Amino acid sequence: MATIKEIANRLGISVSTVSKGLNGANDISEDLRQLVLDTAVEMGYTTKRMKKEEHKKLCIFIENMDYETPNQFGYEIILGFKQAAYRDNWDVSVFPVNPEFQEKERYDTYMLKKGFTGAFFVGFALQDAWMAQLASTTIPTALFDNYIKKNPNVGYVGTDNFEGIDSAVDHVYQLGHRRIAFLNGSVNSMVSDQRQQAFFDSMESHGLSVDKKLMANGYYVANSAKYHVPNFLAAGATAILCGNDLIAAGTIEECRLRGFRIPDDISVVGFDDLPISVHLFPPLTTIRQDRIELGKSGYYTLNSLIHHVSIGKTLLRPQFILRESTAPVRSPVKAG
Amino acid sequence: MATIKEIANRLGISVSTVSKGLNGANDISEDLRQLVLDTAVEMGYTTKRMKKEEHKKLCIFIENMDYETPNQFGYEIILGFKQAAYRDNWDVSVFPVNPEFQEKERYDTYMLKKGFTGAFFVGFALQDAWMAQLASTTIPTALFDNYIKKNPNVGYVGTDNFEGIDSAVDHVYQLGHRRIAFLNGSVNSMVSDQRQQAFFDSMESHGLSVDKKLMANGYYVANSAKYHVPNFLAAGATAILCGNDLIAAGTIEECRLRGFRIPDDISVVGFDDLPISVHLFPPLTTIRQDRIELGKSGYYTLNSLIHHVSIGKTLLRPQFILRESTAPVRSPVKAG
């Protein structure tokens, strides 16, 4: 756990100012107080004041997603959720789960037994046991990137995948690309399904038809690229859109191994804007999901559900990030 | 403007307690303080404290919608928005607008000139001049029931029309109805478009095809019914879903004039759950939109946009309200 001194050093302010921020003194500004609290949460510091309401407990269940370090996708989602929840004096626990764990005990039973008022689900797969139970749960539950029909106790938070994929298609289209491939992430994922539909919709709205040789589902890891990118290249792709930045990193690597230069021969677009994106060679053009805001929106949605305001969906806008992995199409494409 | 005494009478508490609530005294509970403030807002009372930050100004633009009295659709939307905004010390002005007004001056210019930080649009039509300008506005703007693509400064708040219409179709389907008609509201409305698509989707998912003789667009007024309901009846409809409760009121009246009993011969479902619904004969089965929560969600979305959190969509769950205007289908239908 961080000390007050470490928080003070991080922010470049005095220990006494940090102390005022943590204890709610009113002779520092509200903005500064909030910054101190947010930083304390981020650094793992917990005050007695934060802990005082032991009965106010929320939890985050996470699966299929890395979140331990700042360069991983789940890290900021959890951080954003905690920052927002702590402002309202909630205690937040994080539990990694797996399919076996979900088979052992019903979701509602587990929550009641542990005394949690509500939960935020991150990274669940459509076929998970608890996902099926959410159709009728009475526990306020917010889901990142998953949707449950008609249950007023459950809400969905995510990024608008339709706008994100459309931004990517539109960008390479404006650069003259017509042979546009899409290497999507895993099947059995609502997000993959949405992005696939979004790709079809956007190609159609740009007057392009989708060549099935230029579409594939892999997994949300870099290693996926080597199974599909060679086929895309053989089929004449000049631009490859990727389901996330890790797939894009693998795609860049795979193209280079086969003698294709990025972006001169092939343009590559990622999704997420993970910290790694800017360090790739070349730096990656991508679609940003603001993960801190996603986490905060997860909390706001959950808090609304707890107060019987039935928010079914909250969608954040994605942001198009132009870097150096995309360029005007070359015609004809130079093979390696 | 209401007096403190009137607020006290309404709530059944003492004038001094109201006074404490209005002045932020900390010897009353937070919940009571909030109730006093919400009631003060509802009754039109404004304290100096509420008015103190003159530079914090939001506005609501409203068009094509009645809102002056509690039985009208817009009333609670505006009330909910104000209640939530006043908690954060915003001053809120309400301006009715029309197409001519929008032609006179650009939206952004008007907002800057008047010193408004952001706006909530209620009831706008797709072809309105200001709607086109929202594609590129830099002013934080929340829209009730309208969506603008890709502009991170604009967010959409509404009820999930797909779930609402699906609940209505599913209800009459479970009652045995197969000849299901839909009398939608006005064209040139995003909501009408969504509900029409939702009707097609839901009929398909119930294994029913849509008969074009059983679908029509009217306007969101009772008078619409007389132009379309006779055709529906002639075409053998046994259930009529309506774009709102006013259309449903007209539909019930029109059926009765032609000798069809509700719900014995024809089932009718409304949309919105306006205060009138419960007073119709028979009381109306309908899909509830929680207008207070819609107004509050409009404020939360706008406040997020002002703080550069780009919420594109917030959708509330509709609620199915079972009353007496629907019943199991009779076969064959008895003509009047």
| Rounded distance between C-alpha atoms, residue B330 and residue B264, angstroms | 7
Candidates B160, B290, B310; nearest CB to A317: B310
Candidates A296, A309, A319; nearest CB to B293: A309
Mean pLDDT rounded to a whole number for chain A? 91
| B16 — pLDDT class (breaks 50, 70, 90) | confident
So what's the architecture of A161-289 in CATH? 3-Layer(aba) Sandwich (3.40)
Lowest average pLDDT, out of A34-38, A99-103, A251-255, B139-143, goes to A34-38
Q: Which residue of A has its CA nearest to B313?
A: A315
- Count CB-CB contacts under 10 A for residue A281: 12
pLDDT of residue B334 exceeding 60, the answer is no
| Rounded distance between C-alpha atoms, residue B10 and residue A282, angstroms | 67
Question: What does the pLDDT average to over A126-148?
Answer: 95
Q: Chain B: give the shortest CA distance to residue A155, in Å.
A: 9
Q: Measured between beta carbons, which residues in chain B are less than 8 angstroms from residue A312?
A: 160, 163, 315-317
| A331 — pLDDT class (breaks 50, 70, 90) | low
Task: State residue B332's pLDDT score.
Answer: 56
Could you tell me the CA-to-CA distances from B147 to A3, A198, B130, B277 in Å, in that order? 47, 17, 13, 28
The two tokens of residue B65 are 């919608």
Task: State residue B49's pLDDT score.
Answer: 52
Task: Provide the percentage of residues in chain A whose pLDDT is more than 90.
Answer: 75
| Rounded distance between C-alpha atoms, residue A86 and residue A60, angstroms | 14
pLDDT of residue B149 exceeding 50, the answer is yes
Give the tens place of pLDDT for each residue, B230-283.
Answer: 999 999 999 999 999 999 999 999 999 999 999 999 999 999 999 999 999 999
| Rounded distance between C-alpha atoms, residue A127 and residue B45, angstroms | 53
Q: Chain A: give the shortest CA distance to residue B332, in Å.
A: 33
Give the tens place of pLDDT for each residue, A67-88.
Answer: 999 989 999 999 999 999 998 8
Between B44 and A128, name the one with better pLDDT.
A128
Q: Does B310 contact chain A (CB < 8 Å)?
A: yes
pLDDT of residue A61 exceeding 70, the answer is yes
Q: Measured between beta carbons, which residues in chain A are less than 8 angstroms from residue B297?
A: 309, 311
Domain map (residue ranges) of chain B: 4-159+291-317, 161-289
Q: Do domains B4-159+291-317 and B161-289 have the same CATH topology?
A: yes
- Tell which of B150, B299, B321 to mutate to test the A interface (max A CBs under 10 Å): B150
Q: Chain B: give the shortest CA distance to residue A102, in Å.
A: 27
Task: State residue A130's pLDDT score.
Answer: 96
Between A112 and B210, name the one with better pLDDT.
B210
Whether B316 sits inside 8 A of A317 (CB atoms) is no
Instruction: List, as one string, the DSSP characters of B249-304.
Output: HHHHHHHHHTT--TTTT-EEE-SB--GGGGGSSSPPBEEE--HHHHHHHHHHHHHH
φ, ψ dihedrals at A318, nearest 5°:
-80, 165
Q: Does A315 contact chain B (CB < 8 Å)?
A: yes
Task: State residue A48's pLDDT score.
Answer: 57
For β-strands B319-321 and B286-288, DSSP reports them as antiparallel
Task: Provide the percentage of residues in chain B whose pLDDT is more than 70.
Answer: 95
Task: State residue B336's pLDDT score.
Answer: 43
Bond prior to B70 in cis (omega within 30° of 0): no
In chain B, residues 167-196 whose CB comes closer than 8 Å to chain A: 167
Give the tens place of pLDDT for each residue, B299-311.
Answer: 999 999 998 899 9
| A163 — pLDDT class (breaks 50, 70, 90) | very high
Question: What does the pLDDT average to over A235-249?
Answer: 97
Whether B309 sits inside 8 A of A296 (CB atoms) is yes
pLDDT of residue B333 exceeding 60, the answer is no
Question: What does the pLDDT average to over A148-173?
Answer: 97
Q: Does A314 contact chain B (CB < 8 Å)?
A: yes
Q: At what angle do helices B291-306 and B73-87 cross, to 10 degrees?
A: 40
Candidates A160, A300, A311; nearest CB to B312: A160
Give the tens place of pLDDT for each residue, B169-181.
Answer: 999 999 999 999 9
Check if the beta carbon of residue B37 is closer than 8 Å to that of residue B98: no
| B335 — pLDDT class (breaks 50, 70, 90) | very low
pLDDT of residue B319 exceeding 90, the answer is yes
Give the tens place of pLDDT for each residue, B53-79.
Answer: 557 899 999 998 999 999 899 999 999
pTM of the model: 0.81
Q: Measured between beta carbons, which residues in chain B are less than 8 angstroms from residue A308?
A: none
Q: Measured between beta carbons, which residues in chain B are less than 8 angstroms from residue A315?
A: 311-314
Task: State residue A53's pLDDT score.
Answer: 52
Task: State residue B249's pLDDT score.
Answer: 97
Whether B316 sits inside 8 A of A316 (CB atoms) is no
What CATH number does domain A4-159+291-317 carry, 3.40.50.150, 2.30.42.10, 3.30.40.230, 3.40.50.2300? 3.40.50.2300
Bond prior to A152 in cis (omega within 30° of 0): no
Task: State residue A23's pLDDT score.
Answer: 79
- Tell which of A83, A299, A317 to mutate to test the B interface (max B CBs under 10 Å): A317
The two tokens of residue B7 are 């607020």
Q: Measured between beta carbons, which residues in chain A are less than 8 angstroms from residue B150?
A: 163, 166-167, 317
Give the tens place of pLDDT for each residue, A297-311.
Answer: 999 999 999 988 999
Q: Measured between beta carbons, which residues in chain B are less than 8 angstroms from residue A149?
A: 163
pLDDT of residue A336 exceeding 50, the answer is no
Name the helix (H) or strand (E) containing A158: strand A154-159
Question: What does the pLDDT average to over A196-205?
Answer: 97
Could you tell me the CA-to-CA distances from A329 to A213, A241, A263, B258 in Å, in that order? 19, 14, 9, 67
Task: State residue A333's pLDDT score.
Answer: 47
User: In terms of residues, how long is chain B?
Assistant: 336
φ, ψ dihedrals at A288, nearest 5°:
-85, 130
Q: Chain A: give the shortest CA distance to residue B287, in Å.
A: 13
| Rounded distance between C-alpha atoms, residue B186 and residue B198, angstroms | 16
Interface A-B, measured as beta-carbon pairs within 8 A, has a size of 65
Between B47 and A276, name the one with better pLDDT.
A276
Whether A312 sits inside 8 A of B315 (CB atoms) is yes
Q: Chain A: give the shortest CA distance to residue B143, in Å.
A: 14
Could you tell me the CA-to-CA distances from A168 to A272, A287, B269, B286, B293 in Å, in that order? 12, 7, 42, 41, 35
